[in-house]
Chain A
Amino acid sequence: MSDETLPRAAAPPRRRAAVPVGVMMAMAWLALILAVALLADAIRPFGITAMDLRARLQPPIGFGGTSWAHALGTDELGRDVLSRLIESIRISLLIAFGATIIAAVFGTTMGFLAAHFRGWVEQVVLMLIDFQASMPFLILALSVLAFLGNSLPLFVCLMGLYGWERHARIARGLAIAANAQGYAAAVRHLGAGPLRIYLGHVLPNIASTLIVAATLSFPEVVLLESGLSFLGLGVQPPMTSLGNMVGYGREYITRAPWIMLCPSAVIVLTTLSVSILGDWLRDRLDPTLT
């Protein structure tokens, strides 16, 4: 895996070689996770709130468990851990995707606004970028949650504020470069309006860079969401997310560590896979990005 973590500047010229094994495995894991999230309702053996009080705290198969009905064991209310895990994956991915898309759209818009208007608009955007980058996001997020309470849409939007400044910086830089000389200036000189220039020409040309940037911030959003949910301040019961499950399973760490270990493993494998994929994409598509 050290291949994927080579720093950008020192990376040797890339051969158009086969996809490294690590990246293949990361892709396979992400495909699996995506399939689980999309098919959650179909493949989930039990409802996430279905309790079976006679089968409480059953260990998973391989750890002394015997029941294939509960392959990953049950929690202290006899709820099936696998079913809850499947649902958690769906919710966590939904939030992470939603937030990443919001961040990309918002950040790119801000970057384009800065590049188009320059002057004070650009100064305000730059100030906001500086502000965002210099404040611990977790604390800002906690404050908003404290002031405004919690709901899933608000939570997704809040997570969507994470990482927008990265997109804004990239979009602004590339749009200014394009405006100064080159294709965007040429289209402008043909008489095109700003919408045609930015959406029709600049955006498609910088999309690959923005996608790489989104891939880099996606795992961070997963970690942030799971952290907040772990603290009990993110996704609220009866809904469940990976972080919720860990936070909840921590109460039973001595008697039933699997409740906590299963979602932890999913979080780690997912963030690891997206990071590997993101680094690989960055090295291939845009080595100038940090």
Chain B
Amino acid sequence: MTLLSLDGVSRVYATRRGIIGRPVPVRAVDQISLSVAPGRTLGIVGESGCGKSTTGRVALGIERPSEGSVTFQGAAMPTPGTPAWRRMRGRLQLVPQDPLGAMDRRLTIATQVEEPLIIHAIGDKSDRRDRVQALLRDVGLRADLAERHPHELSGGQRQRAVLARALATDPALLVCDEPVSALDVSIQAQVINMLTDLQEARGIAMLFISHDLKVVRQVSHEVAVMYLGRIVEHGDPEAIFADPLHPYSRALVSAIPVPGPRRIERVVLTGDPPNPADRPSGCAFHPRCPVAVAACAVTTPDLRPAADGRLVACHLVPAAGGTA
């Protein structure tokens, strides 16, 4: 059973180079397919610019895919701005990276947490007040913070407030876009634990987007590694962490500091960081890949099942039951 599925989704932007230049299509997201089951978490990991945030926005329905389709609870995602789309907003919610920017700085926390209830006409005035109190309690905010303004809160408290607002309409899916990367490490752990607790208690599905493989591993039931708009490896987080198959995943995993001797040799990436407007031919990773062969620059590898059921897009990884 799937809650959300993206099917062959691409998102193409037209950017101009200079003022006179012709618009160049940039594929921020290229042919991505993934799905999230109810109550489960899919982590998406990759460098900045790899298209993971765009994937999140497409999954939320905020942006329409240029190609492919998005299905949520068995129905196609409605067009943004339509009444049907607005009604659906209560079912999918975003937890943003910058909670301060996502809140109206003139309004109190309680007012803002109440707002989705008003928008979706849930409960009467006193009922809504009770719900707001319950929500703030659920995310671990003291009741006296309800009447504060966003700038009077700490970073962790703001993130909790935004989460309370996102949870107000009891959504089936949360898209968390780098929800903890602006926080201190100690606070990160608290927020992450709270997220997993809430997920367990409420059965919410999550799309958890981060550049930090370590964080993604803590929360995810499944992980997709993205590079330049494509998924290069997809599977169980523990398996990927223990034995990354794609050279890019290998580099990511090896970059995580571990106590004691390394199980995987440190792979330092060389070459230019990826630029979606100037995509290399063949496998987009080949200019930085330590093990690239001639074929890598020519043909783009498909995402196909590898030995343990993981999906990998690399010419050098033998397909399950096949030969490389």
A and B touch in the complex (CB under 8 A): yes
CB-defined contacts of A192 to chain B, threshold 8 Å: 86, 115, 119
Contact with A along B100-122 (1 / 0, CB 8 A): 01111110000000011001100
- Select A205's contact among B88, B106, B119, beta carbons within 8 Å: B106
> A186: nearest residue on chain B (CB-CB)?
B102
Contact between chains at B103 and A183 (CB < 8 Å): yes
Least CB distance from A127 to B in Å reads 20
Contact between chains at B90 and A182 (CB < 8 Å): no
Number of chain B residues whose Cβ lies closer than 8 Å to a Cβ of chain A:
24
Least CB distance from B166 to A in Å reads 8
> A201: nearest residue on chain B (CB-CB)?
B104
Contact between chains at A183 and B102 (CB < 8 Å): yes
> B96: nearest residue on chain A (CB-CB)?
A186
CB-defined contacts of A183 to chain B, threshold 8 Å: 101-105
Contact between chains at A187 and B104 (CB < 8 Å): yes
- Select B86's contact among A181, A182, A191, A204, beta carbons within 8 Å: A191
CB-defined contacts of B115 to chain A, threshold 8 Å: 187, 190, 192
Chain A-chain B contacts (Cβ-Cβ < 8 Å), number: 50
Contact between chains at B106 and A182 (CB < 8 Å): no
- Select B60's contact among A181, A189, A201, A204, beta carbons within 8 Å: A189
Whether A191 contacts B119 in the complex (CB less than 8 A), given A181-B101, A183-B101, A186-B96, comes out as yes
> B92: nearest residue on chain A (CB-CB)?
A189
How distant is the Cα of A205 from the Cα of B88 in the complex, in angstroms? 27
Contact with A along B199-213 (1 / 0, CB 8 A): 000000000000000
Contact between chains at A190 and B119 (CB < 8 Å): yes
Contact between chains at A189 and B101 (CB < 8 Å): no
Residues of B within 8 A of A (CB): 60, 62, 86-90, 93-94, 96, 98, 101-106, 115-116, 119-120, 162, 165, 169
19 further A-B pairs in the complex, CB-CB below 8 A; given A190-B165, A204-B106: A181-B101, A182-B102, A183-B101, A183-B102, A183-B103, A186-B96, A189-B89, A190-B93, A190-B115, A191-B86, A191-B87, A191-B89, A191-B90, A191-B116, A191-B120, A192-B86, A193-B86, A193-B119, A205-B104
